[in-house]
Chain A
Amino acid sequence: MAGFMQQIINGLSIGSVYALMAVGYSLVYSIMNFSNFAHGGVIMIGAYIGFFLLAAYKMPFYVAFALAGAGAGLLALIIERVAYSPLRKRKAPFLYFIISAMGASIFLENIVIATIGPTFKTYPKVFSTQPITVGSLSVGRLDLIMFVISAISLAILIFVIEKTKIGMAIRGTAYSVRASALMGVNTDHVIMIVFGLGGLLGGIAGMLFGMKYTVYPQIGFITIKSFIAAVFGGLGSLPGAVIGSVLLGIIETLTSGYLSSQFRDLIAFALLIVVLIVRPMGLMGKFTEDKA
């Protein structure tokens, strides 16, 4: 039983980082109705920024967090301007956005390989590896910090979306881009804010992910699992993305704990397929009927 609880705790910790990544996919999907596969590249760059700030410049970790988030947010904005905004103006079909996103992620991954190199980089130790023990359960310090930082970031995001004027504009635009534009919302700004926010959280998540494991150029494709979590919860729904991520995190740790770590990724993709077949709108998504 203690072993089981231990797995749940580990699952919560990694699930919360997935959630931080997944909201980036969901925010963009809720407004632009396409899966932004460049988000993985943005997360990866965030992880690298954090690594260099800590390893080369020996910055305090909270400064590194802030700068990794800011850098990734800025990058997401640039990608939006360069790769999507021209498509948006032309009202191109969703596939063009996806291909453009794939192009951006190929670019990001390979520019890192070409300049920094394809090797794994290990973050310097910021936190002691001594776990915190409560009874028979032990929690790694890093796991705890991952969970706390993710939870705080998500709470701030939810506050922004629910309580501020910007958040209202985002919710309105998600409901109907056209109606919001007619009501005087500058949807172009909203889209930029959404990309910035998604990138910011993605950068922080990337750094947490890098601290837990390592940093390497293909991290972007690993983060596709957070996309699966977003689909699982219901694409376009923020609570869905968070719940889906936490569940995926727990399912993953249970799989590697009780079956084999080799099946961990397979389980994630199997889950994606099952969800799409049984309930394509996900746990929290809404179902839409076609009109003639």
Chain B
Amino acid sequence: MNILEFNNVTKQFGGLTAVGNVDFQVAKDSIFGLIGPNGAGKTTIFNLITGIYHVTEGEILFEGKRINGLQPYQIAQLGITRTFQNIRLFKKLTIYENILTACHENGNYGIFDAILRNGKYKKQERIMHEKTQTLMEIMGLEDRKDIIAANLPYGWQRRLEIARALASNPKLLLLDEPAAGMNPDETLKLMTLIHEIRKQFKVTMIVIEHHMDLIMGVCDKIMVLNFGQKLAEGTAQEIQENKKVIEAYLGEEEMHC
């Protein structure tokens, strides 16, 4: 069963076509890789899925329902969330506050419940704090709880951003270059983390990445984009053997990492 479908989706900026007539399906519970040279339209696809950009033509289906045209927060509430290439944390808040904020959909109470601090407020807040605590433990962040997000090392900021995304219980998680700026050791840990997340949270993932080791290591299916067009699609092995892909992106001699 497909969780996400792109049907002939096109996005134009003025006269420039950033994504042209792209078609693909993402199977539920799979990890889908999105690769291609810089400017190929990978992040644009994420922006289209999350509603930050509006689709020029075509439609995007999530669990069989059309989502293009919805506001970003509505799409998020349906169960799609993401991380950003240039990390967008709540910089001045602590790790704990970052995750707690993102847990807002886990508890439900009104403004007046908050002002009166009644039983409902207390009960729902407890649920949100518990959820935050659990996430901190799973993501290995619990002993850094009170550190301000902006003061974290780069790799940990990326980890926190993933944790924050998971706080809203997504069905589909989009990771935009999660390994960018990481050393090989950290990249290896990230791969373990992605496998771990898949097992623990039963979430489908789409990953944009330039580290081929990571893409080939975690993805069930990979799509290659070039100049906003789909160049190829298939398993890791099929992609590595595809002539067009080697020519346009991977390089003749050997893949770069």
Interface string of B23-57 (1 = CB under 8 A from A): 00000000000000000000100110000110000
- Please give the distance in Å from B65's CB to the nearest CB on chain A: 23
Q: Is the interface of A mostly helix, strand, loop or mixed?
A: loop
Q: A270 an interface residue at 8 Å Cβ cutoff?
A: no
Q: A1 an interface residue at 8 Å Cβ cutoff?
A: no
A51 to B53, CA, bound (A): 56
Give the size category of A's interface with B.
Answer: under 10
Interface positions of A from 249 to 292, Cβ below 8 Å from B? 289-290, 292
Q: Is the interface of B mostly helix, strand, loop or mixed?
A: mixed
| Set of chain A residues within 8 Å of B47, measured between Cβ atoms | 292
Give the size category of B's interface with A.
Answer: under 10
Interface string of B45-80 (1 = CB under 8 A from A): 011000011000000000000000000000000000
Q: B156 an interface residue at 8 Å Cβ cutoff?
A: no
Chain A, residue nearest B88 (CB): A292
A290 to B53, CA, bound (A): 9
| Set of chain B residues within 8 Å of A292, measured between Cβ atoms | 43, 46-47, 52-53, 84
- Please give the distance in Å from A61's CB to the nearest CB on chain B: 51
- Please give the distance in Å from B5's CB to the nearest CB on chain A: 22
A-B interface contact total, Cβ < 8 Å: 8
| Set of chain A residues within 8 Å of B46, measured between Cβ atoms | 292
A289 to B16, CA, bound (A): 14
A292 to B87, CA, bound (A): 11
- Please give the distance in Å from B42's CB to the nearest CB on chain A: 12
A290 to B47, CA, bound (A): 11
- Please give the distance in Å from A210's CB to the nearest CB on chain B: 47
A289 to B18, CA, bound (A): 15
- Please give the distance in Å from A288's CB to the nearest CB on chain B: 12
- Please give the distance in Å from A281's CB to the nearest CB on chain B: 16
A290 to B52, CA, bound (A): 9
- Please give the distance in Å from B174's CB to the nearest CB on chain A: 11
- Please give the distance in Å from A92's CB to the nearest CB on chain B: 15
Chain A, residue nearest B86 (CB): A292
- Please give the distance in Å from B199's CB to the nearest CB on chain A: 29
- Please give the distance in Å from B235's CB to the nearest CB on chain A: 29
A257 to B142, CA, bound (A): 71
| Set of chain B residues within 8 Å of A290, measured between Cβ atoms | 52
Chain A, residue nearest B84 (CB): A292
- Please give the distance in Å from A287's CB to the nearest CB on chain B: 11
Interface positions of B from 1 to 23, Cβ below 8 Å from A? 13
| Set of chain A residues within 8 Å of B43, measured between Cβ atoms | 292
- Please give the distance in Å from A245's CB to the nearest CB on chain B: 30
Chain A, residue nearest B53 (CB): A292
Interface positions of A from 169 to 220, Cβ below 8 Å from B? none
- Please give the distance in Å from A194's CB to the nearest CB on chain B: 30
| Set of chain A residues within 8 Å of B53, measured between Cβ atoms | 292
A289 to B52, CA, bound (A): 10
- Please give the distance in Å from B23's CB to the nearest CB on chain A: 23
A264 to B139, CA, bound (A): 63
Chain A, residue nearest B85 (CB): A292
A292 to B174, CA, bound (A): 14
A47 to B46, CA, bound (A): 56
Chain B, residue nearest A290 (CB): B52
Chain A, residue nearest B14 (CB): A289
A216 to B152, CA, bound (A): 55
Chain A, residue nearest B43 (CB): A292
A120 to B13, CA, bound (A): 55
- Please give the distance in Å from A291's CB to the nearest CB on chain B: 9
A289 to B11, CA, bound (A): 14
A282 to B52, CA, bound (A): 24
| Set of chain B residues within 8 Å of A289, measured between Cβ atoms | 13
Interface positions of B from 98 to 127, Cβ below 8 Å from A? none
A292 to B82, CA, bound (A): 12
| Set of chain A residues within 8 Å of B52, measured between Cβ atoms | 290, 292
- Please give the distance in Å from A290's CB to the nearest CB on chain B: 8
Interface positions of A from 122 to 167, Cβ below 8 Å from B? none
Chain A, residue nearest B176 (CB): A292
A290 to B13, CA, bound (A): 12
A289 to B46, CA, bound (A): 17
Interface string of A71-95 (1 = CB under 8 A from B): 0000000000000000000000000
- Please give the distance in Å from B73's CB to the nearest CB on chain A: 15
A290 to B51, CA, bound (A): 13
A289 to B43, CA, bound (A): 16
- Please give the distance in Å from A225's CB to the nearest CB on chain B: 35
Q: List 8 A-B contacts (CB under 8 A).
A: A289-B13, A290-B52, A292-B43, A292-B46, A292-B47, A292-B52, A292-B53, A292-B84
5 further A-B contacts with Cβ under 8 Å, apart from A289-B13, A292-B46, A292-B84, are A290-B52, A292-B43, A292-B47, A292-B52, A292-B53
- The 4 tightest CB contacts between A and B, nearest first, are A292-B47, A292-B52, A292-B43, A292-B84
